[in-house]
Structure 1
Amino acid sequence: MRMNRELFEALESGDVANIQRLHRQNSHVLLEVTFQGDTSLHIAAREGHLPIVEWILRVKPSLAGARNKDRNTPLHEAAKCGNRELVRILLLRKTNSAYYCNMFGETALIIACRYGHVETVRLLLETRSYNDLGEMRRSFRVAAHGRYPDVAKAILQNPIKPQLFRRLRLVLREWDTYEDVAKNVLHKFTELRRRTTIFHNLYDAVHGGHPEIVEAVLNSPAWKDHLMTKEDIPGTWTCAIHEAAILGRWDIINEFMSRWPHCVEIRSSDHKSVLHFAVEYNQFEIVRNLLLIKSPRKVIDWVSRDHDCFYNTSLHLAAKNGVDPQV
């Protein structure tokens, strides 16, 4: 049943009285969902409205495990919001929701790491009755990408199989900030190649904007393996050239192409090309330069017929995202 607009606005604004009035008029109103499959509890958790969340859990406790179209639970939304008390309440109602993964393979812990909510991360680590080492490593890597050293330290302080985290701790001893690590990567390139759980060398060099590290990796014999490095979410990935397009780094893309001209044809897990990413992130210079290197016939195919897994061409993405008219 589709959620009526009055309930949606009340949930977003935190109007408890109006929500309770609508519930008195229709006892099933809290079971209505939005077009994205969000329940009333998803919305209240996303907005950080603790009193509403507590009331909904008393009235409709089954919603604690509800999933939307992205398979996010209310706990996923609360972890993104970063409200520690809200996460605690949801965990008390449904503890095993801490282990639920969304369609991108992310638990609430990984999402909390992505947004740098250190107190929420600590709570989730304390709550879990067992620990998945693979998830801990993914969480650590997400914290590293987001440049959240406090979150990374919280993960490593979690008392799980310390011997398996020895390599991570060795890096953390030298890590005051992400920039300090990046500055030393060039000198420790051989050593860091063995630490792929933290740094996927080429991808992270592009992401951090370190052209000297990119050059060092490209001069190594197996640089194509680094170009194809996967992202941390199981089943979904992009590679270094996609990250360069997102950041508008034509100099890095050009460097890749000088060694491997067809690298612009590499697809992400959702079948997006470099052009798709450049259009989606409004990188006009990248779009222009990519189109200039193609023949007119290839340009037509690339722009109007070449689609991702959702059947969006570059033109669809340009229209959908309202990008700069130049693009």
Structure 2
Amino acid sequence: MASSIIDSKDTILHLDAREGKDTVSYGSDKIIAYLAEEFPSLITRRNSQNDTVLHLAARRGKHSDIIKSLAQSNPSLMRKTNTKGNTPLHDAVINGNRELAKFLVSIDPEVAYYNNKNDRSPLYLAVEKGNKKGILDDLLKSGALIPIYREDGDALPKGKSPVHAAIEQRSRDILLKIEKAKPELLRITEKELGNSLHYASSIGFLEGVQFLLQKFRDGAYETNLEGNYPIHLACKSHSADVVKEYLDKFPYAEEFINKKGRNILHVAAKYGNCNVISYILKQDPKLVEPLLNEMDEDGNKPLHLAAGYGKSLAAFVLVRDQRVEHFTFPSLITTQNSQEDTVLHLAAREGKDSQAIKSLVDSNTSVVRMKNEMGNTPLHDAAIKGNRELAIFLVSKDPEVAYYNNKYGRSPLYLAVEKGNENGILDDLLISGASIPIYREGVDALPNGKSPVHAAIKRRDKDILEKIEKAKPEILRLTDEELGNSLHYASSIGFLEGVEFLLENFHVGAYERDSEGNYPIHLACKNDSVDVVKRYLDIFPYPKEFLNKKGQNILHVAAKYGNCSVISYILKLDPKLVQPLVNATDKVGNTPLHLAAFHGRPMASLLLVRDKRVEHFIDRPDNSKDVVDGMKNSTAENSTDSTSSERKVQAYIDYVRKNL
């Protein structure tokens, strides 16, 4: 027995309760009295799950006089929790142990409201169990009052509300029981679900709403965490009967405005709840008109939201109402909210292309070019969201918009490339009839902004390059202010397939300089892209022609950045092509070896020093010196190994840095 106690932390009383045996059968109440008197710590000791003997008895369905004696001898057992946060009363309710539950709550009524780690009290569990074996009735009769202030944890009104559990079961009978015994429970609010009226309205529980409006009427004027009144949730959940119940009690619906400034028609329209919309529109015109044309905090009207969220039937229900058409419809399509979105922007982002949206556009096509605060047109948003059907419709109405730039210099065409032709939107935009360049006063459009070809190169996607060349070859010639032309960018990232394709279809791009004065081949040398450099030299075999604005040839650039692979490749070329490169000076008199040394590129310097064609001197307008004498002193100061190439190179680097 001792070994068992040590291993599982169960005492003799735990084992007795776990096995379902009654200690009386082994000897009578005298055993309990003896244990309680001689070993009082056994009564409160816990096992590895933090269960007391009372927890195990509750789960085993035991309610003998002996168990009661244990509880009465130490009332603190009532509030002990195990690893799940359950008290013995929790376990009695869960296991339908009515007699013990009734006894435990008589000893400590407040425990009925203690929450476990799942925020459920015994009272909540009893409701959840549907008053199994009448346990709920017993708990409701306890004398405790709410709120309960628990020293070692939380209790109602915190945690999950028993009333919400009754609503979830749609049990009006349990609501009646709770209201009769503990009416204050009706007012408990759950953080996520709101008060009891919020929850009943959100699931369309009409009987529950009717009951609660009788017993908890002021709950209709409370807002939940999202700032909605209960009637808003009824509008959101298609519950026309529940909305009717509210409007019978509260006929002035304009009073109910949520924290976004939306009335009940806004909410019904946003969620496309046509039954609710139709019911509201049939009410007294004096009550309806303030709802129809009201704007929320973003400037959206109910019709704005219905169309914007693609609720076509809801939009048509509103459009057909003469009051809507007379007051709001003519200007609706161009009305912008606080983010400068039109209804068309909202529809594009929601992935909708309803006939209602198309009808709105047909009434005023200027909306296709309207931009929001991000500079996006509706076509931008359609491309971002992969809304192909609406994108096709919009570009058919105004092909040029495919080339309009947002505030980040990105056109819908660029975004479609960036998304990898998602849903085939790129194909649709490329077949639009617009040509580049776009010249419109006050319009930022291609060729300005970011080039779609550069987006394809960034993705290393030759297939998209081929699509662009086939449909819009002029786009290949676009230049990005920072990245240069398409050949510059492809060369700078070593995208060989892209360079080959562009050299076939944009040959002249190889002779263009970027903003820093470099030709594309210079960027290939800078990137150490030997295969790309080779491809250029296969087509342009006279590399001395390519001098950047600093007067540097391709060997200068490779040396400056220490790109040994490119340097080795160049030095192995036809001597007639290499000789003009190796000792050429840039505009300030630097040879490739000067740059390698000055920028601390020892391996590149070593490659050049070892090539007999490279001259080892400094020859600049303000400083013409033979480096040999300078190197003698530098190498002598270092070590006896003055003949090693590496040390000579390092000495050369030190000397050049000192004298340049």
Q: Provide TM-score, normalisation by structure 1.
A: 0.57
Relative to structure 1, the CA distance from residue 42 to residue 87 in structure 2 (aligned partners, 3 Å threshold; closer, same or farther) is same
In structure 2, which of residues 232, 240, 263 is the aligned counterpart of residue 76 of structure 1?
Answer: 232
* Aligned match of 2:207: 51
CA–CA distance in structure 1, aligned partners of residues 243 and 371 of structure 2: 31
Q: How many angstroms apart in 2 are the aligned matches of 1:225 and 1:189?
A: 27
- Deviation per CA, 1:141-182, whole angstroms, max 9, x where unpaired? 3222333322112212334264444537999xxxxx934577
Structure 1 residue 94: Cα displacement: 1.9
In 1, distance between residues paired with 2:363 and 2:401? 12
Unpaired segments of 5 or more residues in structure 2?
1-156, 335-351, 427-444, 455-660
1:178 is matched with which residue: 337, 345, 353?
353
Q: Measured at CA, do residues 63 and 181 of structure 1 come closer, stay the same or move farther in structure 2, by a change above 3 Å?
A: closer
| CA distance in structure 1 between the partners assigned to 2:219 and 2:324 by the alignment | 35
Do the aligned residues in 2 keep the contact of 1:64 with 1:94 (CA within 8 Å)? no
Paired letter, 1:201: P
Matched letter for residue 242 of structure 2? L
User: What residue identity is the alignment partner of 2:403?
Assistant: N
Instruction: Confirm or deny: 8 A CA contact 2:179 2:186 kept in the other structure.
Output: yes
* Structure 1 contact 3–32 (Cα < 8 Å) conserved: no
What is the DSSP-based 3-state SS (H/G/I as helix, E as strand, rest coil) of the residue aligned with 2:183? coil
Quick one: distance in 2 between partners of 1:167 and 1:87?
Answer: 30
Pairing of 1:267-306 with structure 2 (within 5 A): none
Equivalent of 1:135, from 295, 313, 319? 295
Q: 1:139 to 1:61 in 2, by over 3 A?
A: same
Give how far 1:90 is off.
0.9
Contact 1:75 1:87 (8 Å CA) reproduced: yes
- 1:188-241 CA-partner distances (Å, limit 9, x unpaired): 9843348899x96236534571355478434237x44999xxxxxxxxxxxx9x
- What is the rounded CA distance, in whole Å, between the counterparts of 1:42 and 1:216 in structure 2? 49
| 1:205 counterpart residue number | 382
Q: 1:205–1:11: structure 2 CA closer, same or farther, 3 Å change rule?
A: same
Mapping of residues 43-192 of structure 1, within 5 Å: 43-127=199-283, 128-131=287-290, 133-135=293-295, 138-160=301-323, 162-165=325-328, 167=330, 178-180=353-355, 190-192=365-367
| The structure with more radius of gyration | 2
- Whole-angstrom CA distance in 1 between matches of 2:367 and 2:200: 43
Cα distance in 2 for partners of 1:45, 1:79 equals: 9
Residues of 1 paired with 2:205 and 2:361: CA distance?
46
Offset, 1:44: 0.5
The higher-RCO structure (CA 8 Å, 6+ apart) is: 1
Aligned residues: 235
Q: Mark the CA change 1:50 to 1:144 in structure 2 (over 3 Å): closer, same or farther.
A: same
**Aligned-pair distance for 1:77?**
0.7
**C-alpha separation between the residues in 2 aligned to 1:107 and 1:226?**
38
Give percent identity, aligned residues only: 17
Correspondence for 1:6: 162
Q: CA RMSD in A?
A: 4.4
- 1:325 counterpart residue number: none
SS in 1 for 2:290: coil
Q: Matched residues in 1 for 2:409 and 2:360: separation?
A: 15
Q: What secondary structure is seen at the aligned counterpart in 1 of 2:289?
A: coil
Post-superposition CA distance 1:2-51 (Å, at most 9, x none)? 36443221111211111211111112111110023711111101111101
The 1:152–1:208 alpha-carbon spacing in structure 2 relative to 1, beyond 3 Å, is farther
Q: Secondary structure at the match of 1:106?
A: coil
Q: CA deviation at 1:64?
A: 1.6
